[in-house]
Amino acid sequence: MKVRRILVLAVVLPLLLLSGCASLAPPPVSPQDQVRRPYISEIELPEAKAYFGYARFRMLIMDNRWDEAISALEHALAFDPESEWLQLTLAKAYLHNQQLEEGGQTLETLLRLFPDQTDGWELMGELRFFQKRYPEAIAAYRTLLKKTPADETLRLRLIAVYDQQGEIQKAIAETKTLLKLNPDSLPGQLTLARLQRRNQQPQAATRTYRELLLRRPGQVQTILELGQLLEKEQQVDEAIDLYRESLRDNPELLAVYKQLARILILQERYDEALDLLRQAHQQRPEDIQILNRIGLLQLSLEDYAGGEQSFREVLKLQPDDPRHLYSLSMALIGQQRLDDALKILEQIPQDSKVYAEAVLQLGYLYRQQGDVERGIRVLQQALTTGNPTVNVYYYLSAFLGEVGRFAEAGQVVRQGIEAYPRDVKLHYQQGVIFEQLQERQQALQAMEEVLAIDPQNADALNFIAYHYAELGENLEQALKLAQQALKQKKSSYIYDTLGWIYYRMHRYDEARTHLEKAVVLDPDDALIQEHLGDVYLALQRWNDAEQVYRKSLELDHDSTTARNKLQRLLKDHPRQ
């Protein structure tokens, strides 16, 4: 290569100059030398200029000045345009600098001049694959494979191109070719099984995975992928057997423990999953993920003391991690250690991903301790940090409504709806607040907005139906709405609405049936008891009416309507 010659020139030239300076007398001049010849400096040769440009390129990339470096390399190539090495280096520099088109053009020139340049073909294949110019990538890889047909890496790249292009049959054919050339290729066998899965050939894929396990017993990736395939094909028991057998052969396969535990949890076999995770913990006591899963599973099983112990161990390994602090607080709340839980939650920083959940728990705990105002302040602060979640708006408005600050609650809900315009819960909450403010039409409009988003929303259907029942208007429509709501949710308050509608329609037996169901579902609701008393009164069941009116007053001592009804009943129908 011409550039290499420059190195010799760069060394010889100073020596020549020094030897000239040491000469004591000029050599004799012959007559023919009296005519001067033009002097040619070695550093003016094209090869020297090319090398100088390359040297400058090297210095510039060390300073990460890629644009200038590429310019220097282009200058070098201009002096030595047939340099294979300079062209390849320039192509690589272009690609490093994300100048893909220039890099591709340089590679095309290189391969036209030097069709046997293997590095250039490989780089061209990678570039065209990245650019999704799949036919050109295939051509590049095939050119290389003609020379080295058994090259596993190149064959796998060609397979990947066919796969990305959607030609899965060709990808499978190339994979089988690879396996003929190299039957023990682990990547080739795994690739074939994966392609068969994607080609909707689960049985073939299963056979390939099992053959691979015969060749490579205990190969973790094969075990996991075969297990996932069996799960997908509804062969869960076979997957469990595969995992258990693998763990018997090799108890240290941590990923298999995790996969099997996940299946057991999905099947709600929590005790088995917990035992399995404990075995995994014994194998790898420093694995935070396993210990964290144990703790979460203990929370699910309401083993809050065990969960606390697990998360405290996790925090020893990963101190002050917000996620684990939050989980620890849940374990403490489960044990009703609310003060301890508050101290933990207060350690969670505002920039944490679990801060939104933590602040909701803080607000809830302050409310539980009777300090609703402090809970409100915490949630108000959360509105100013980052992007508050839907639940922050929802619970803040609920807390404000709880202390009678309905106007502020309405303002918070409006802000929430601006941030989350299609959130059903916020629109419903807005309707509830309007009702508290005695703005019934706006409340109904809010519920209609809920139904525009979710036409089957049971709570909004029930709200509108109960509104008409209270007014004694549009009762047929109200009945249809309440029946539709009941199909979505079998709840006490929807049975109560239906019973109240039937009462208004003077269909007392149907009213009694639904209100008695409501009382069974929620015996501590004073209003439902009062409604049932009204129905018994209409059916002239005086003793039953008296009993439920008294129950209503026990639940709500301040209910003047229930008290008046009981007094009137006792006056009009005294006990005999």
Task: Flag whether pLDDT at 411 surpasses 90.
Answer: yes
For residue 129, give both structure tokens: 């694959």
Task: Flag whether pLDDT at 5 surpasses 70.
Answer: no
Domain match, 449 and 463 both: no
499: containing domain:
456-576
Domain match, 507 and 431 both: no
pLDDT at residue 50 in the model: 83
Provide φ and ψ at 237, rounded to 5°. Answer: -60, -40
The answer to whether residue 201 sits within a structural domain is: no
Domain match, 569 and 462 both: yes
The answer to whether residue 192 sits within a structural domain is: no
Residue with tokens 């010799």: 8
Task: Flag whether pLDDT at 409 surpasses 90.
Answer: yes
Domain match, 446 and 481 both: no
The answer to whether the beta carbons of residues 159 and 193 sit under 8 Å apart is no
For residue 422, give both structure tokens: 């299609």
Confidence grade of residue 40 (pLDDT, cut at 50, 70, 90): very low
pLDDT tens for each residue of 199-240: 999 999 999 999 999 999 989 999 999 999 999 999 999 999
pLDDT tens for each residue of 305-321: 999 999 999 999 999 89
Domain match, 471 and 431 both: no
Task: Flag whether pLDDT at 184 surpasses 80.
Answer: yes
pLDDT, average across residues 340-344: 95
Domain match, 434 and 489 both: no
Provide φ and ψ at 304, rounded to 5°. Answer: -70, -35
Task: Flag whether pLDDT at 34 surpasses 50.
Answer: no
Provide φ and ψ at 84, rounded to 5°. Answer: -60, -45
The answer to whether the beta carbons of residues 48 and 6 sit under 8 Å apart is yes
Mean of all residue pLDDT scores within the chain: 89
Percent of the chain with pLDDT strictly greater than 70 = 92
Domain match, 491 and 566 both: yes
pLDDT at residue 10 in the model: 31
The answer to whether residue 108 sits within a structural domain is: no
Domain match, 356 and 392 both: yes
Domain match, 571 and 472 both: yes
The answer to whether residue 100 sits within a structural domain is: no
Task: Flag whether pLDDT at 11 surpasses 50.
Answer: no
Beta strands in 42-199, from DSSP E residues, in sequence order? none
The answer to whether residue 156 sits within a structural domain is: no
Query: What is the per-residue DSSP string for 425-454?
Result: HHHHHHHHHHHHTT-HHHHHHHHHHHHHH-
Confidence grade of residue 15 (pLDDT, cut at 50, 70, 90): very low
pLDDT at residue 13 in the model: 24
pLDDT at residue 175 in the model: 95
Name the 3-class secondary structure at 5. helix
Percent of the chain with pLDDT strictly greater than 90 = 80
Task: Flag whether pLDDT at 387 surpasses 70.
Answer: yes
Nearest to 524 by CA among 554, 499, 549: 554
Domain end marker among 453, 470, 501:
453
Rounded (5°) CA angle 465-467-472: 90
pLDDT at residue 574 in the model: 83
The answer to whether residue 550 sits within a structural domain is: yes
Domain match, 484 and 563 both: yes
DSSP class of 132:
T
Task: Flag whether pLDDT at 165 surpasses 70.
Answer: yes
The answer to whether residue 111 sits within a structural domain is: no
Range from 44-53, 164-173, 327-336, 500-509 carrying the lowest mean pLDDT:
44-53
Domain end marker among 438, 453, 468:
453
- From the number of C-beta atoms within 10 Å of its C-beta (0-12, 13-18, 19+), residue 226 rates as buried
Domain match, 504 and 573 both: yes
CATH classification at residue 540: 1.25.40.10
Domain end marker among 453, 472, 487:
453
Residue with tokens 């809900």: 413
Task: Flag whether pLDDT at 41 surpasses 80.
Answer: no
For residue 519, give both structure tokens: 């009382």
pLDDT tens for each residue of 437-484: 999 999 999 999 999 999 999 999 999 999 999 999 999 999 999 999
pLDDT tens for each residue of 539-571: 999 999 999 999 999 999 999 999 999 999 999
**Total domain count for the chain?**
2
The answer to whether residue 116 sits within a structural domain is: no
Q: Exposure string (b/e) for 30-58, b if CB count within 10 Å is 16 or more?
A: eeeeeeeeeeeeeeebebbbbbbbbebbe
| CB-CB neighbours of 168 under 10 Å | 17
Domain match, 488 and 542 both: yes
Task: Flag whether pLDDT at 35 surpasses 50.
Answer: no
